[in-house]
Amino acid sequence: MTTTRVRVRYAETDAQGVAYHAHYLVWMEIGRTRLLEQLGFPYPRLEREGVLFSVVEARCRYLGAARYDDEVEVETRVSRARSRTVAFDYRMRIGESVVATGETTLVALDRERAPRRVPPDLARALAEAAGD
Q: Annotated active-site positions, please? A: 14
Pick 43 or 82: Cβ nearer a second copy = 43
Alpha helices, H only, the chain: 23-38, 43-48, 120-130
Q: Map the footprint of a second copy across residues 19-38, applying CB under 8 A.
A: 20-23, 25-26, 29-30, 33
14 Cβ contact list (under 8 Å, min separation 6): 20
Q: How many residues does the chain have?
A: 132
Q: Does 40 bind a second copy (CB under 8 A)?
A: no
Residues in contact with a second copy by CB under 8 A are 9-11, 13-18, 20-23, 25-26, 29-30, 33, 42-44, 47, 52, 54-63, 65, 67-69, 113
